[in-house]
Amino acid sequence: MQEIGLGLLGFGTVGAGVVEGLQRNGDLIAARAGVRPVLRKIADLDLDRDRGVVVDRSMLTTDATAVIHDPEIHIVIELIGGVGIARELVMEALKAGKPVVTANKKLLAEFGHELFPLADQHQVDLRFEASVAGGIPIIQALREGLIANHIPNAYGILNGTCNYILTRMEEEGRPFDEVLQEAQDAGYAEAEPSLDIDGHDTAHKAALLASLAYGFPYPLSRLHVEGIRGIAREDIENVCELGYRMKLLAILKKTGDQVGVRVHPTLVPLDHMLAQVGGVFNTVMVTGDIVGDTLYYGKGAGRLPTASAVISDIAAIARQLATQSSGHVPAFVPEGGQPQIQPMDEVLARNYLRLSLMDRPGVLAHVAGILGEHGISIETMVQKSRSRETYVPVILITHQAQEKNMREAVARLNESEHVGSKPVRFRIEDFA
């Protein structure tokens, strides 16, 4: 059977997972692909650390450039991460005409507008199945399985750390800081958790999904991002009582000619499939104009789930090289027309608003008045308790309101002498 040489750049957690996957199931993969991918070189700065897999010492090198230019290497696998050396090496590989497989969502979200055209220019593939939702084959589903569909909307739970924290907070009624600390101790969250809990990792993945759904590199600068840092236990509980569950959602929507992508904590109706996704699992729900709603669920991170996706990309390219296909599949293609991005200010949503109000006559009318001035009407109001405190918590659910109006109304409320602590606001997703 024909062999295709692989060069692995970066021998970290996922890199070792790829090595393990190829070692364990190499014969199966070769049989299914009709060609045998063979790992020939591994480049890393640290050649001594134990990764839990056994590789021939002669395979290891610190010289990534030499791996890229080795004529026995036909596919380059970038698992270094980050946007420094990884970016340079991916560019070098593409320029050398070597197809690249990467799991680096940050690199593609920030520099995809450079890297994908470079791949096109050199007619080689740059594949990234592992970069969104780990082991779930969502990239291929969007590019190929749903090729017949315009995508009116898509939703993703794309960060296992955030979903784990929200799940634990709800199930155990515990505060954010405590659960985060525990997740860090258990290795589910990084020591520096900002990339995850402030929503940036989700945003990188959402930008990639948007590129595939809408056919242009979605600029991160136009992507509205809010994370889950410091989310209050009482809001987690309140929304449950109201029939929702708090999820950090990536939301992609096409409205008329405009597309909009945002990431923020969102109230999801309890009976919706996305509300059922607990713990570290990821889920993507994609609506196609032909197929209707589809949903994909699985492990979004981890050494082996990510390796499964990396190997699927390797097999796809290997099969293509083996069949001497003249084709290069571009990562995404423009759908025609100038892409337009919907300003966040124009987004419409119902909202959950928790206000701390002075317990005296006329205050509710005052609040309703401010909302009314911004064109916002109230659907439901729940006063949580009437104690001897000066301020009482009041929960409002608004009817659908425009983001700009909501933001301005909340700012006005924040300045009001009748309002105690800062108003807390979350958007509700109705999947309509």
- Where does this chain touch a second copy (CB under 8 A) — which range of 81-89, 147-155, 197-205, 355-363? 147-155
Cβ partners under 8 Å of residue 181, min gap 6: none
Q: Is 205 a catalytic residue?
A: yes
The binder of a second copy chosen from 45, 66, 147, 382 (CB under 8 A) = 147
Site string for a second copy, 165-204 (x = CB under 8 A): ----------------------------------------
User: Contact, 78 vs 90, CB < 8 A?
Assistant: yes
Residue in 110, 129, 196, 429 binding a second copy, rule: CB under 8 A: 129
DSSP-derived 3-state class of residue 350: strand
Query: Which lies closer to a second copy via its Cβ, residue 96 or residue 273?
Result: 273
CA nearest neighbour of 132 among 79, 190, 208: 208
Which one among 19, 103, 316, 409 touches a second copy, defined by CB under 8 A? 316
Which residue, among 362, 392, 368, 366, has the nearest Cα to 380 in the 3D structure?
A: 368
Q: What are the strands, taking DSSP E only, across 30-122?
A: 36-43, 60-61, 75-78, 100-102
Neighbours of 62 (CB within 10 A): 11
Q: How many residues bind a second copy (CB under 8 A)?
A: 63
Tell me which long-range contacts 244-247 makes (C-beta under 8 A, separation of at least 24): 244/268, 244/269, 244/270, 244/275, 244/352, 244/428, 245/170, 245/270, 245/275, 246/166, 246/170, 246/426, 247/157, 247/163, 247/166, 247/274, 247/275, 247/277
- Nearest residue (CB) to a second copy, 136 versus 231: 136
**Applying CB under 8 A, which of residues 53, 141, 220, 368 lies at the interface with a second copy?**
141
Residues 6+ away with beta carbon under 8 Å from 193: 161, 180, 184
Of 232 and 295, the one with the shorter C-beta distance to a second copy is 295
Positions 330 through 359 that interact with a second copy (CB under 8 A): 330, 333-336
| Ranges within 245-284 binding a second copy (CB under 8 A) | 273, 276
Strand residues in 190-335 grouped as ranges (E): 224-225, 244-255, 258-269, 281-288, 292-299
Residue reference for tokens 């050396």: 85
Closer residue to a second copy, CB minimum distance, 176 or 332: 332
Active-site residue, from 205, 247, 254, 299:
205
Q: Is position 300 an interface residue for a second copy (rule: CB under 8 A)?
A: no
Asked whether position 294 contacts a second copy by CB under 8 A, the answer is yes
Residues 12-71 that bind a second copy (CB under 8 A): 21, 24-25, 27-29, 31-34
Closer Cβ to a second copy, 53 or 329, answer by number: 329
Residue closer to a second copy, measured from CB, 286 or 401 = 286
**Residue 21 C-beta: closest distance to a second copy, Å:** 5
